[in-house]
Structure 1
Amino acid sequence: MGATVHAAFFSRTGDPSVIEWGELPDPSPGPGQVRVRPQAVAVDAVDTLVRSGRWTTPLAFPVAVGRDLVGVVDAVGPGASGLHEGDRVWTSSAGYAGRPGATAQFVVVDRDRLYDVPDAADPVAFVASLHPATTAVAALHLRAGVQPGETLVVVGANGAVGAALVQEGVASGADVVAVVRDVRAAATLGEWGAEVVIADAGSAAEAVAERRPDGIHVFIDTTGRADTASAVAHLVPRGRVIVLAGRTSAEIDLWSLQVRELRVEGFILSALDASELREVAGRVNARWTEGRPLTAHVGEVLGFADAADAHRRMEAGDLPRTDDGFVGRLVLVPDATSWGAPRTTR
């Protein structure tokens, strides 16, 4: 066996016990590829769907877990222009569709899926923000087409994705209404520029309608528990419901959908192609340049070797929460002890 690298990987789909901490062949970048040394990898809910097989995607076993990484360029393959050894880069599309995963000492990534890390960004805090930020930007701009002044309703606004949707909605000039059950999150959401409604997800649309009787332009539920039929009923003509947590079913009046030109559209970040992901990455990085980055709270930093435990906790909903009621993110680093205390970008 040739040179190897340590990695958290799986050779078949299943529960978190299929994740091994061991050795994989040391990867070399081919044409159009770059070898990256990861500094931090986020743990996303979708990672557990890939590993469990609940979401079907081509996998080249054995494959390391994880899709979002921040790292440093180690080697550049033929034709991979514009990057040099030592450059800081990020990607949000490793570990699915046949591509190598992120949680390894070295990872090969296609050049067209790598983006510059903003100068001021801390690797741990930045990687924690990537999945929420890219989801928010893509859902609001590539799918919903949110416009300044439109009413945007975000249900579950104290979750990682919900918080990013609120921040991006406000930055885009939307009239953002943030729906949460935890009253502790209200002050922070208000400081960001949202109007806060305290309500259960199931009654969110009705609760918002009392505040916005003229109707809702864009409705996004991050919890999978909102009443989508009720949301559709409260849309303005040409209003949109973006489904990104489709855990329930809904009975919708198709005649109303037609004559009022309403849209109910599914969205999954993994369906974006490389050009769409680059557009999204550009918007995410631009927020940093503008001094208003889309942020997330780092709940806990673990080692690469702790990936199986991190997946167990993600599936069990055993995630840290801030004192103001926001969900914390789990981040993996090569050596957890080198990173000190958990941090936040807020």
Structure 2
Amino acid sequence: MKAIQIVSPGSVEQLRLIDVPTPKPGPGEVLVRVHAAGVNYMDLLQRAGVYPAPVTYPFVPGVEVAGVVEAVGAGVDDLAKGARVAGLRASGGGYAEYATLPAQQAARLPDGIGYAEATALLVQGLTAQGLVESAPEVQRGASVLITAAAGGVGALLIQVAKRAGAGKVIAAASSEDKLALARSLGADVGVNYAEAGWVDRVREATGGRGADVVFDAVGGELRAASLEGLAPRGRLVIYGAASGSLGITEAVVSGLPVKNHSISGFSLYVPLAEEPAWVSSTLATLFKLALAGSLRTPVHAPFALAHAAEAHAAMGGRNTTGKVVLTVA
């Protein structure tokens, strides 16, 4: 079968289309003929060799797959060949024509939800829901600032926060096109953080207080600036550092008590490892909402598997909106 392999850490040129043996499903696994594979920032970091959890090269990236069950392993009774499924591969291997999944993590995909759309509801959908649940004040009408609001997580987070009861959702992005998308998804206000004075506009949108909750996966100077737009007793929730810099200096930490600010973090790895029931039930809810048209899943123009390097370049250059997907079959 064909697969994309990271030969060694480095630029997009390290992504090579190669032939590898088709895997066989082990006990409790299913073999999926992949139709769509999700692309995530963690893939870019793994390719660059800077992801916190080291990988062994050569390496086939990709944690999200959606497709059709081709074969089942011993002990699998609730899925059969031909079933439409989507699921997560924590160890990678999704950038390929075939991939195995633990049967318990292969969620049945309802008719009416496309394969590319399904990948948007895996890492990004689960993360958006987990983020909102990690900040219960959102459900009490808190104002929310979302950075990278037109990205895969941001586009869903706008909608999930609104559904949960956020009083005002402020979308922050780097271009007017991205802000237009964010507004179309339900954001009340859009601010362009490529322009000077964007923090002032956050304060203006919140009556001078600042946002009660900031969800940020960018890091660096943007994260430090977002703290200036945080309301007294506000919470900054970190779920990544796409800029490559955490942005939390000693000076930032020492300033937290001045306005009773707090910082918390969220990683999908924890519920994946410890809360499988939450993962299953949340995915079922996300699929139901998407099927009903109550949750939009913007997908960037898909890239063919062989063009994975172009997908990485586009995402790394901040030239994408919504979910980035590789089409495989």
The TM-score with structure 1 as length reference comes to 0.78
Q: Which of residues 115, 130, 146 is equivalent to 1:123?
A: 115
RMSD of aligned alpha carbons? 3.0
Distance 1:189 1:259 in 2: 29
- Whether 2:326 is the aligned partner of 1:332: answer yes
Q: Which of residues 229, 235, 240 is equivalent to 1:240?
A: 235
Given that 1:7 and 1:24 are in contact with CA atoms closer than 8 Å, whether structure 2 keeps it comes out as yes
Task: Give the 3 Å change call, closer, same or farther, for CA 17–234 of structure 1 in structure 2.
Answer: closer
Distance 1:159 1:36 in 2: 27
Task: Give the 3 Å change call, closer, same or farther, for CA 153–315 of structure 1 in structure 2.
Answer: closer
Distance 2:36 2:313 in 1: 19
Q: Which of residues 138, 162, 167 is equivalent to 2:159?
A: 167
1:85-124 deviations in Å (ceiling 9; x for gaps): 22111123x2x5xx24112222112223322223320112
Distance 1:121 1:100 in 2: 23
Alignment correspondent of 1:309: 310
1:11-55 deviations in Å (ceiling 9; x for gaps): 433332232212212211112222111111122221111122210
Task: Give the 3 Å change call, closer, same or farther, for CA 80–236 of structure 1 in structure 2.
Answer: farther
- Whether 2:213 is the aligned partner of 1:218: answer yes
Q: How many correspondences in the alignment?
A: 317
Distance 2:223 2:6 in 1: 37
- Unaligned ranges ≥5, structure 2: none
1:1-346 matches, cutoff 5 A: 5-57=1-53, 59=55, 62-92=58-88, 94=89, 96=90, 99-141=91-133, 143-145=134-136, 146-175=138-167, 176-184=169-177, 189-200=182-193, 203-212=197-206, 213-224=208-219, 225-228=221-224, 231=227, 234-237=230-233, 239-246=234-241, 247=245, 248-250=247-249, 251-252=251-252, 254=254, 256-257=256-257, 260=260, 262-276=261-275, 279-290=278-289, 291-317=292-318, 319-320=319-320, 327-335=321-329
Secondary structure in structure 1 of the residue aligned to 2:162: helix
- Range with bigger deviation, 181-190 or 72-81: 181-190
* Aligned residue type for 1:111: A
* Aligned residue type for 2:43: D
Task: Give the 3 Å change call, closer, same or farther, for CA 240–79 of structure 1 in structure 2.
Answer: farther
- Unaligned ranges ≥5, structure 1: 321-326, 336-346
Distance 1:80 1:203 in 2: 57
1:250-303 deviations in Å (ceiling 9; x for gaps): 42354753993x420233334543344652453243134242454333332222
* Aligned residue type for 1:144: A
* Identity fraction in percent: 27
Distance 1:188 1:330 in 2: 15
* Aligned residue type for 2:188: E
Distance 2:192 2:62 in 1: 33
Task: Give the 3 Å change call, closer, same or farther, for CA 277–140 of structure 1 in structure 2.
Answer: farther
Distance 2:203 2:7 in 1: 49
Given that 2:271 and 2:278 are in contact with CA atoms closer than 8 Å, whether structure 1 keeps it comes out as no
Given that 2:210 and 2:229 are in contact with CA atoms closer than 8 Å, whether structure 1 keeps it comes out as no
1:84 Cα shift?
Answer: 1.9
Task: Give the 3 Å change call, closer, same or farther, for CA 21–253 of structure 1 in structure 2.
Answer: closer
